[in-house]
Chain A
Amino acid sequence: MSEIHALSAGLALDASVIGGKAHGLVALMRLGLPVPPGFVIPTAACRVFLETGGLPGGELAGAVRELEAVTGRRFGDPARPLLVSVRSGAAVSMPGMMDTLLNVSSTGDLRAAVREVFASWTAPRAVTYRELHDIPHDQGTAVVVQAMVLGDRDDHSGSGVAFSRDPSTGERRPYGDVLFRSQGDAVVSGTVPTLPLDALATREPAVWVGLMDALDRVERHFRDVCHVEFTVESGRLWLLQVRPGGLSGRAAVRVAVDLVDEGLIDRATAVRRITPGHLRAAAVPRIRAAAPPLPSPDPASQDSATWDRAGSGSAMQAFPGSDPPSTGSSRPVTEVGSAASSGLEILARGRGAGPGVATGRVAVTADGAVRMAAAGPVILVRPHTSPLDLHGLAAAAGIVTTTGGLTSHAAVVARSMGKPAVVGATGLTVRTHDVVVNGRSIPDGAAADADADADADHMATDGHSTSEGTTGNDQTATDGRSTPEGTTGNNQTATDGRTTLGITATDTDQVVMDGWSIPEGTVITIDGTGGEIVLGVAETAAGDTGPHVDRLLRWAAEESVA
């Protein structure tokens, strides 16, 4: 029977033995960073379990006793109960494919949980994942057991994910999502609007400082961009996972070039890290800034095209270490600020689900899309789609959903039709006659509720002149600037349609806080690679590779000569 190992800085075992997750946690501990105490059951124990059904019995009990001693807590102790998380951790990450159990509170529960995680290695869905990603079937998964840290404990608690650099652009600034009073699993779903990472800076300044220090240390250790999963419990920062790399396209190129300039890697390493796939991805047409910057070899200059990622979305959705990790999110307030200088108005980011750029007028129902398509290109914006929306999907030039991921109905159908699509744009809420760009402080679940109700209206009517048009949620029209859907299909300029809402509690469907109304008919542009949704007509950059790619290619040429 294989040994169980306490997680410690001194644990010098390969990821193939203890799994990638434990391997990363050990690295964090060596860097002196806060990791909840725990132990790892190696992959070998999984192989034994799959063969014989047996668990490492005595050793497991011993590991629990040790953890009880370290934490000063005990399973079943009413005063100081020990609660543990039980997570899978294979040598190669298989995000979301295997089971995770939280708040395990007794030895019996723990054994059942370990059994469940081991067994999930052979679940058909996991088998399919390995088949598709060339991962061997005979390795098994390790199991990481750690004392729970509670992100939902109080007002000074929360969970999030943080990238050491912007995974969308590669720019050197911390990026991520955080949700206060929440456990990580509550926000992984991607359906809850999260806050931008820097919300931590104002609300928990000490945690922010600790997190920035941690990101700096892991970057220097891995000599690459990293992202960490973290939980804050009563003002104390804990790191639950670290993963280096994982960016793609222009963002990956920019990071590699910047790391050379920062002296963390040499040119040969940078060249080695960038695959032909990254260069191909860097050349896919993308939305670009309205005012192109001056071409410059200066490493500090900005890429002319601002977004560089395949597969974008809430950073939370990258939580389990999805590959490639996701980025972007519902953070219109900060985005609008940063985009103003480049002439773009970013309404929201979702995940790029069908590559390409499309510009058209917003339609919020499938019927509306069909009707409006007669007059020109339409972007269908829906909470999610179903077969009931197929005619709208067919009529639309591009598709946006506010919920769902890369495997959702909308994503699959859009790709089958070769249409640009952005899914999981959680910063938007679809209403009867418009789309609302949520503010930063929308309460948990409010968007989801609104989505469900808005969906119920779908196909209800031909889209105008019904009782729906007079419900309270149409109050945006009262200031005279917003155009209710149906009165015109040609509401050209997006900014005209922008209206500031107060808190709106309607008797029919939604509660919307601090949003901007984007009426049906407003022109928007979507980027199905990076997941950006932009107000108005945006220019595209086809094959515009930018100064970082140019420098990297020059180095590659020098390498091959040398």
Chain B
Amino acid sequence: MTDLTVLHTLRCMGFTDLGRVASAAGLAPEEAESRLIDLAVEGLVTRVPGAFGGWGLTEAGKAEDARLAAEELDKAGARAAVTSAYTDFMVLNPELLDLSTAWHLRTVDGVAAVNDHTDAAYDARVLARFADLDRRVSPVCAALTAALPRFGSYRRRLSAALARGDLAETTESYHNVWFQLHEDLLVTLGIPR
């Protein structure tokens, strides 16, 4: 029995290290590693060694994940609900990208410049709009979680990133978690990027 939790979590994160997969999947690292090794035996995931190494899916793993995710979606009778939530999500998506960009770049004296975060008022405005967007994405997250409980992890991770003020900095930033949710919706609904 293939473990969809870890497989799908890794699919949406892309390529990452053990600690991050475990955290996103809500598992202890040892447990996550044990499941990853089982998946590797099945030929579904692979580990790249080295400084930039980590875990990722094989082509077979991607195909199997797509198949299992579709199966899970239809078994739960959740396709309509997830499709509707995806539509709502895509309305908000451009704004998230605007805000992530605004966090890194701003127009100063008519010229685009790197935001050096020395202007607290500007940063506060960006943060306020992030918080506003976060409020508006909440009903989307709630609808998704009601349709498929595994979507619940995104609400938790988005809130944690916002609370840290990690808008677009780290691999667990608001932007990256959002992007994984986007990827998850595409994979789950079988929509090519």
Neighbour of A277 across the interface among B12, B50, B113, CB < 8 A = B113
Neighbour of A324 across the interface among B110, B180, B183, CB < 8 A = B110
For A106-135 the 0/1 string (1 means CB < 8 A from B) is 000000000000000000110011011100
Contacts of B102 in A (CB 8 A): 132
**A407 lies within 8 A of B13 (CB):** no
A-B contact number at CB 8 A:
138
Q: Which of A156-164, A287-295, A408-416, A546-554 contacts the other chain?
A: A408-416
**A388 lies within 8 A of B97 (CB):** no
A228→B62 CA distance, assembly (Å)? 47
Q: Which residue of A lies closest to B56 (CB)?
A: A459
**B133 lies within 8 A of A124 (CB):** yes
Neighbour of A391 across the interface among B54, B100, B173, B192, CB < 8 A = B54
CB distance from B111 to the nearest CB of A (A): 4
A416→B114 CA distance, assembly (Å)? 11
CB distance from A350 to the nearest CB of B (A): 15
Q: Which of A446-489 contact B (CB under 8 A)?
A: 452, 455, 459-461
Neighbour of B105 across the interface among A129, A131, A406, CB < 8 A = A406
Verify if A390 is at the interface (C-beta below 8 Å from B): yes
A275→B170 CA distance, assembly (Å)? 33
Q: Which residue of A lies closest to B97 (CB)?
A: A407
Q: Which of A85-93, A264-272, A366-374 contacts the other chain?
A: A366-374
CB distance from A189 to the nearest CB of B (A): 13
A431→B48 CA distance, assembly (Å)? 23
Please judge, given known A-B contacts A411-B101, A416-B173, whether A310 and B15 are in contact too, CB under 8 Å: no
Verify if A429 is at the interface (C-beta below 8 Å from B): no
Verify if A427 is at the interface (C-beta below 8 Å from B): no
For B141-182 the 0/1 string (1 means CB < 8 A from A) is 000000000000000000000000000111101011001100
Contacts of B53 in A (CB 8 A): 370, 391
Contacts of A275 in B (CB 8 A): 109-111
A412→B36 CA distance, assembly (Å)? 29
Contacts of B173 in A (CB 8 A): 416
Verify if A281 is at the interface (C-beta below 8 Å from B): yes
Neighbour of A133 across the interface among B97, B107, B183, CB < 8 A = B107
Verify if A140 is at the interface (C-beta below 8 Å from B): no
Name the residue among A384, A416, A459 with the largest chain B CB count within 10 angstroms: A416
CB distance from B192 to the nearest CB of A (A): 7
**A125 lies within 8 A of B98 (CB):** yes
Contacts of A412 in B (CB 8 A): 97, 100-101, 104, 168, 175
Neighbour of A128 across the interface among B48, B62, B98, CB < 8 A = B98
Verify if A323 is at the interface (C-beta below 8 Å from B): yes
Q: Say what secondary structure dominates the interface of chain A.
A: helix
Contacts of A24 in B (CB 8 A): none
CB distance from A93 to the nearest CB of B (A): 12
Contacts of A540 in B (CB 8 A): none
Contacts of B168 in A (CB 8 A): 412, 415-416
**B13 lies within 8 A of A391 (CB):** no
Verify if B75 is at the interface (C-beta below 8 Å from A): no
**B109 lies within 8 A of A132 (CB):** no
A323→B110 CA distance, assembly (Å)? 8
Verify if B129 is at the interface (C-beta below 8 Å from A): yes
**A407 lies within 8 A of B113 (CB):** no
**A370 lies within 8 A of B97 (CB):** no
A374→B100 CA distance, assembly (Å)? 31
Verify if A280 is at the interface (C-beta below 8 Å from B): yes
Please judge, given known A-B contacts A248-B111, A416-B173, whether A125 and B14 are in contact too, CB under 8 Å: no
**A415 lies within 8 A of B171 (CB):** no
CB distance from A304 to the nearest CB of B (A): 21
Q: Which of A321-342 contact B (CB under 8 A)?
A: 323-324
Contacts of A409 in B (CB 8 A): 179
A-B contact pairs, 30 of them (CB 8 A): A124-B132, A124-B133, A132-B129, A275-B109, A275-B110, A275-B111, A278-B110, A278-B111, A310-B113, A324-B107, A324-B111, A366-B15, A370-B50, A373-B52, A374-B50, A384-B193, A386-B183, A390-B16, A391-B15, A391-B48, A394-B52, A407-B100, A411-B101, A412-B97, A412-B100, A415-B114, A415-B168, A416-B168, A416-B170, A416-B173
Given contacts A386-B179, A389-B15, A390-B16, 11 further A-B contacts (CB under 8 A): A124-B132, A131-B129, A324-B111, A387-B176, A388-B14, A388-B183, A389-B14, A407-B100, A413-B175, A459-B56, A459-B59
Interface residues of A (CB under 8 A from B): 124-125, 128-129, 131-133, 248-249, 275-278, 280-281, 310-311, 323-324, 355, 366-367, 370, 373-374, 384, 386-392, 394-395, 406-409, 411-413, 415-416, 452, 455, 459-461
Closest 7 CB pairs of A and B: A277-B109, A387-B14, A275-B109, A407-B97, A277-B111, A388-B14, A415-B104
